[in-house]
């Protein structure tokens, strides 16, 4: 431990003081929350691995989780222990990084209902854990939140928070703010009444529940405290719906949350409106496909902004809300940056929700632009969908998103750039009338995908959120589904669906190293300093998650389920099959 | 669907403790919730033992569940509509080609592909989250779905997927 302390102080001395976002985490070599810091930057101040020596990166350890579903999320490193949560059945592993071969200290195997598998729209994934107050806190697919003693692996509390019978599952990684554990539920495909809840960190008891749609009282809107930047009359979560439509209106929360301690605001995005057939829910459908800012102590809604009013394309806004200090037009701005499924990258003023920049980062044709004065997209009416409109052809991007919300970006205060995976896919969208049947999908859609222009299906890109411009991008043969990591060594990291894990120069995108990790990557790379004082990078392999990734015959675990290859990714199964593996890379 | 739908085919089914078996078979679905739920005593379970291994080599005594619509193309077409109307396609994909739930047109089955086995899967549900639809659909509705699913033709040469140009 002494060596770590010495390294720590040396590193602190060489760090630039300016440029860190509010909510930045200390440079202690650990990674204790999903995005490393409250600002959700996935930026590490570690510098041992840099653009000069990164070509020497190689695997130093790997471990099979024994689980075949999509391995989203990321490990945590707290002290000399690495914590890993698997997809269902949500095993929690604690690896001792101080011993050769990193043997387990313990594993925790909760009893998670298999019934949850059937109401997981998009594979049985889990997006990771949060460390706070000596506890590892994470969610079980079947609607429970658990706290486990980080030292002993003993369960401290286990609270039922969601109801599988209603189509709710819990895949999100919690965010702990002071003594509140914030979580949300997935189920936008099952017509849930979407919500976030805060649990007491010590006891696990639910302190408050805030719905994302519905009456002000359910949404924890206290009119004197609610100041949306554009629209939001009283009971806005009801008036923009047909009678009772909000009761089964979706607005799930399954992506990434962030927190600004100076403003004391919690930020998160809401998912799609249900059902997919937009004819059944005339109105804006507030506050689906939106970003919401709440007080973590009591849940009060402070502002909200809807990226996609009357969502007609399954454009969830559950992707990360990254907090960064940007220089826009010569002025320092406390910004919130979001790469939406709808193909626009948004830069907002995070105290108010006011829109500053909104530019497409992939091919977009459902809207021409976003009006910065009104905050509303200028929609191409030919691309609106609904059962009455038949099969609407060639909408870009497809409903998997310009980037999947499952694939969070990273922000470097060194380069002032954001790094993100993207997908280059478009879709046809044929809606049909559908009925709400509790516990079954509430959708009404048939929508084949096809490749966007250019001869590639995905990219990893660097984005300037102050101007809304792409700085560089690397084309990939398949949609790109991993999260991003960037370090003070100016190296960025990502994985690909065909199973490569790559390090690239954060300033140019030049590939510095690559290694085939055994299965497609849908997880998020992270980095830490081990007990030996060396910097390591860890990532999961394990393809799965979301519809696109359930297509194709790379599932080999079930002899009674054989798929034809999807025509938009005909070759994917040539390069990958399922399988969860934790990889650690070092110099 | 009315209670009449529960008449002849199920009357021939094996006698057994229906409620207990329904629970064992994993019904998490809308048994009790639907206004159109079939009335009267629940039908006994249909279990075909052909695809099971019987202890001692002896199969337990069993009855027969017969699909009243087997091979009926018009019923299969109605079943295709029902497959969409009951949101089956939300999990099993358009054309039952597989999404979150397995492909039902590949000729391969987790729980058996004979008519009575497919009937049981739909009527009672299965333990990885397949809801039981017997309450919402009644027996005839389930047979209609069975007829559709059994009409899907599996592709030739299923086991091999070649990536190189032949």
Asked if B54 is an interface residue toward chain A (Cβ–Cβ < 8 A), one would say no
CA dihedral sign, ordered A215, A217, A220, A223:
positive
Q: Answer whether A435 sits within 8 Å of B129, measured CB to CB.
A: no
Q: Answer whether B129 sits within 8 Å of A114, measured CB to CB.
A: yes
Give the distance from residue B130's alpha carbon to the nearest chain A alpha carbon, in angstroms: 6
Are A536 and A586 in contact by the 8 Å Cβ rule? The answer is yes
Instruction: Name the H helices within chain B.
Output: 8-11, 18-24, 73-85, 88-92, 115-124, 134-151
Q: Answer whether B131 sits within 8 Å of A558, measured CB to CB.
A: no
Per-residue pLDDT, averaged over B118-143, amounts to 94
Partner-chain residue, chosen from B29, B85, B159, that has the shortest CB–CB distance to A439 = B29
Q: How far is CA A33 from CA A87, A370, A467, A582, B79, in A?
A: 18, 33, 29, 18, 49
Cis peptide bond prior to B138, omega within 30° of 0: no
Asked if B164 is an interface residue toward chain A (Cβ–Cβ < 8 A), one would say no
Q: How much is the pTM?
A: 0.90
Q: Answer whether A114 sits within 8 Å of B127, measured CB to CB.
A: yes
Q: How far apart are CA A66 and CA A51, in angstroms?
A: 34
H helices then E strands: how many in chain A?
Answer: 5, 39
Q: Answer whether B101 sits within 8 Å of A118, measured CB to CB.
A: yes
Are A249 and A274 in contact by the 8 Å Cβ rule? The answer is yes
Least confident of A490-494, B47-51, B77-81, B95-99: B47-51
**Tokens 């990193």 sit on residue:** A102
Residue A445: closest CA among chain B residues belongs to which residue?
Answer: B90
Overall residue count recorded for chain A in this entry: 587
Q: Answer whether A115 sits within 8 Å of B128, measured CB to CB.
A: yes
Partners of A558 on chain B (C-beta within 8 Å) are 102, 110
Question: Count of CB atoms within 10 A of residue A52's CB?
Answer: 12
Q: Where in the sequence is the domain holding A91, given as residue range(s)? A: 2-586
Question: Which of the residues of A are catalytic?
Answer: 189, 272, 314
Q: Which two tokens stand for residue A392?
A: 């609407």
Q: How far apart are CA A229 and CA A375, in angstroms?
A: 9
Question: What domain count does chain A have?
Answer: 1
Q: Answer whether A123 sits within 8 Å of B28, measured CB to CB.
A: no
Tell me phi and psi for residue A338, to 5 degrees.
-145, 125
Q: Answer whether B28 sits within 8 Å of A165, measured CB to CB.
A: yes
Are A279 and A387 in contact by the 8 Å Cβ rule? The answer is yes
Q: Which H or E element spans position A8?
A: helix A2-14
Tell me phi and psi for residue A21, to 5 degrees.
-70, 155
CA dihedral sign, ordered A193, A405, A517, A587:
negative
Are A152 and A59 in contact by the 8 Å Cβ rule? The answer is no
**Tokens 């959708």 sit on residue:** A443
Asked if A123 is an interface residue toward chain B (Cβ–Cβ < 8 A), one would say yes
Nearest to B90 by CA among A564, A140, A547: A547
Are B130 and A118 in contact by the 8 Å Cβ rule? The answer is yes
Per residue in A2-25, pLDDT (tens digit) is: 444 433 443 433 333 334 456 777
Q: How far apart are CA A90 and CA B7, in angstroms?
A: 44
Half-sphere exposure of B118 (CA within 13 A, CB side): 22
Give the pLDDT score at A571.
Answer: 87
Partner-chain residue, chosen from B90, B106, B161, that has the shortest CB–CB distance to A440 = B90
Give the pLDDT score at A354.
Answer: 98
Are B48 and B112 in contact by the 8 Å Cβ rule? The answer is yes
Give the pLDDT score at A369.
Answer: 98
Q: Is the pLDDT of residue B58 over 60?
A: yes
Question: Count of CB atoms within 10 A of residue A4's CB?
Answer: 18
Q: Answer whether A440 sits within 8 Å of B87, measured CB to CB.
A: yes
Are A23 and A260 in contact by the 8 Å Cβ rule? The answer is yes
Best of A280, A563, A572 to disrupt the B interface (most B CBs within 10 Å) is A563
Cβ contacts from A onto B, under 8 A? 94
User: Residue ranges of chain A with pLDDT lower than 70?
Assistant: 1-22
Instruction: Classify B120 as helix, strand or coil.
Output: helix
Partners of B30 on chain A (C-beta within 8 Å) are 437-439
Partner-chain residue, chosen from A441, A563, A573, that has the shortest CB–CB distance to B90 = A441
CATH of the domain at A206: 2.140.10.10
Give the distance from residue B17's alpha carbon to the nearest chain A alpha carbon, in angstroms: 23
Per-position DSSP letters for B33-79, written without gaps between them: T-TT---SSPPPP----TTSPPGGGPPPP------TTTT-HHHHHHH
Q: Answer whether A118 sits within 8 Å of B87, measured CB to CB.
A: no
Q: How far apart are CA A78 and CA A98, in angstroms?
A: 12
Give the pLDDT score at A188.
Answer: 95
Give the pLDDT score at A224.
Answer: 94
Partner-chain residue, chosen from B85, B102, B129, that has the shortest CB–CB distance to A560 = B102
Asked if A165 is an interface residue toward chain B (Cβ–Cβ < 8 A), one would say yes
Partners of B97 on chain A (C-beta within 8 Å) are 563-564
Partners of A117 on chain B (C-beta within 8 Å) are 128-129
Tell me phi and psi for residue A94, to 5 degrees.
-125, 110
Asked if A571 is an interface residue toward chain B (Cβ–Cβ < 8 A), one would say yes
Asked if A553 is an interface residue toward chain B (Cβ–Cβ < 8 A), one would say yes
Per residue in A487-520, pLDDT (tens digit) is: 999 999 999 999 999 999 999 999 999 999 999 9
Give the pLDDT score at B63.
Answer: 67
CATH of domain B65-155: 1.10.760.10
Beta bridge partners of A375: none
Are A12 and A488 in contact by the 8 Å Cβ rule? The answer is no
Give the distance from residue A454's alpha carbon to the nearest chain B alpha carbon, in angstroms: 23
Instruction: Classify A497 as helix, strand or coil.
Output: coil
Asked if B118 is an interface residue toward chain A (Cβ–Cβ < 8 A), one would say no
Residue B95: closest CA among chain A residues belongs to which residue?
Answer: A446
Per-residue pLDDT, averaged over B7-34, amounts to 34
Q: Is the pLDDT of residue B21 over 70?
A: no
The CA-based angle A538-A527-A514, given to 5 degrees, is 55
Partners of A564 on chain B (C-beta within 8 Å) are 97, 155
Are A85 and A128 in contact by the 8 Å Cβ rule? The answer is yes
Give the pLDDT score at A578.
Answer: 93
Per-residue pLDDT, averaged over B51-56, amounts to 72
Partners of B110 on chain A (C-beta within 8 Å) are 558, 560-561
Are A122 and B91 in contact by the 8 Å Cβ rule? The answer is no
Per-position DSSP letters for A236-252, written without gaps between them: HHHHTSSTTGGGG-B--
Cis peptide bond prior to A287, omega within 30° of 0: yes
Give the pLDDT score at B57.
Answer: 74
Q: Is the pLDDT of residue B117 over 70?
A: yes
What are the structural domain ranges in chain B? 65-155
Asked if B84 is an interface residue toward chain A (Cβ–Cβ < 8 A), one would say yes
Q: Answer whether A441 sits within 8 Å of B91, measured CB to CB.
A: yes
Q: How far apart are CA B99 and CA A552, in angstroms?
A: 10
Instruction: Classify A419 as helix, strand or coil.
Output: strand
Residue A113: closest CA among chain B residues belongs to which residue?
Answer: B128
Partners of B33 on chain A (C-beta within 8 Å) are 438
Asked if A171 is an interface residue toward chain B (Cβ–Cβ < 8 A), one would say no
Give the pLDDT score at B154.
Answer: 86
């Amino acid at each position: 431990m002494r060596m770590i302390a010495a390294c720590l102080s040396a590193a602190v001395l060489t760090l630039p003081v300016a440029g860190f976002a509010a909510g930045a985490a200390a440079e202690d070599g650990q990674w204790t929350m999903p995005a490393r810091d409250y600002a959700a930057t996935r930026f590490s101040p570690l510098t041992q691995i840099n653009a000069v020596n990164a070509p020497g990166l190689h695997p130093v350890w790997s471990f099979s989780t024994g689980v075949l579903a999509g391995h989203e999320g990321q490990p945590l490193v707290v002290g000399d222990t690495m914590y890993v949560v698997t997809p269902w059945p949500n095993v929690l592993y604690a690896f001792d990084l101080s011993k050769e071969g990193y043997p387990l200290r313990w594993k925790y195997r909760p009893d998670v209902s298999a019934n949850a598998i059937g109401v997981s729209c998009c594979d049985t994934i889990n997006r990771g854990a949060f460390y706070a107050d000596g506890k590892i806190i994470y969610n079980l697919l079947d609607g429970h939140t658990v706290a486990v003693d980080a030292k002993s692996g003993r369960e401290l509390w286990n609270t039922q928070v969601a109801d599988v019978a209603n189509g709710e599952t819990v895949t999100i990684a919690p965010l702990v703010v002071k003594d509140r554990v914030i979580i949300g539920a997935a189920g936008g495909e099952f017509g849930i009444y979407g919500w976030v809840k805060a649990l007491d960190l010590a006891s696990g008891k639910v302190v408050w529940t805030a719905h994302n749609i519905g009456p002000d009282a359910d949404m924890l809107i206290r009119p004197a405290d609610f100041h949306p930047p554009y629209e939001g009359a009283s009971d806005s979560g009801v008036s923009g719906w047909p009678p009772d439509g909000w009761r089964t209106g979706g607005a799930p929360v399954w992506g990434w949350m962030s927190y600004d301690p100076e403003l004391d605001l919690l930020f998160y995005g809401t998912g799609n409106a249900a059902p997919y057939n937009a004819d059944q829910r005339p109105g804006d459908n507030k506050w689906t496909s939106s970003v919401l800012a709440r007080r973590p102590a009591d849940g009060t809604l402070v502002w909200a902004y809807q990226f996609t009013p009357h969502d007609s394309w399954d454009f969830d806004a559950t992707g990360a809300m990254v907090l960064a200090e940007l220089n826009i037009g010569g002025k320092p701005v406390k910004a919130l940056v979001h790469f939406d499924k709808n193909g626009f990258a948004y830069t907002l003023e995070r105290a108010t929700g006011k829109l500053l920049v909104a530019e497409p980062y992939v091919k977009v044709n459902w809207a021409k632009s976003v009006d910065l004065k009104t905050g509303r997209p200028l929609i191409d009416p030919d691309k609106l969908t609904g059962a009455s409109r038949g099969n609407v052809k060639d909408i870009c991007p497809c409903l998997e998103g310009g980037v999947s919300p499952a694939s969070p970006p990273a922000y470097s205060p060194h380069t002032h750039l954001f790094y993100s995976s993207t997908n280059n896919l478009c879709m046809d969208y044929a809606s049909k009338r559908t009925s709400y049947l509790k516990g079954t999908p509430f959708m009404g859609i048939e929508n084949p995908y096809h490749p966007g222009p250019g001869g590639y299906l995905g990219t990893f890109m660097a984005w300037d959120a102050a101007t809304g411009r792409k700085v560089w991008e690397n084309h990939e043969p398949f949609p790109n589904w991993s999260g991003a990591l960037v370090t003070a060594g100016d190296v960025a990291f990502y994985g690909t669906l065909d199973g490569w894990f790559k390090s690239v120069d954060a300033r140019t995108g030049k590939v510095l190293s690559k290694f085939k990790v055994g299965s497609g990557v849908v997880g998020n790379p992270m980095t830490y300093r081990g007990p030996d004082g060396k910097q390591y990078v860890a990532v999961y392999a394990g393809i799965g998650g979301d519809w696109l990734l359930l297509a194709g015959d790379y599932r080999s675990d079930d002899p009674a389920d054989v798929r034809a290859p999807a025509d938009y990714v005909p070759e994917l199964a040539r390069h990958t099959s399922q399988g969860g593996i934790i990889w650690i890379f070092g110099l | 669907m009315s209670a009449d739908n529960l008449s002849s085919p199920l009357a021939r089914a094996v006698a057994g403790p229906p409620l207990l078996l329904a629970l064992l078979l994993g019904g998490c679905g809308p048994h009790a919730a639907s206004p159109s739920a079939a009335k009267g005593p629940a039908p006994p379970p249909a279990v075909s033992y052909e695809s099971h291994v019987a202890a001692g080599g002896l199969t337990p005594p069993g009855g027969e569940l017969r699909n009243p619509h087997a091979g009926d193309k018009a019923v299969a077409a109605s079943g295709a509509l029902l497959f969409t109307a009951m949101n089956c396609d939300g999990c099993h994909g358009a054309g039952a080609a597989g999404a979150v739930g397995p492909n039902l047109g590949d000729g391969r089955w987790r729980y058996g592909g004979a008519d009575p086995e497919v009937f049981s899967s739909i009527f009672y549900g299965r333990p990885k989250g397949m809801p039981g639809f017997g309450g919402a659909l009644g027996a005839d509705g389930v047979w209609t779905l069975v007829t559709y699913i059994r009409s899907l033709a599996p592709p030739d040469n299923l086991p091999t997927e070649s990536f190189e140009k032949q």
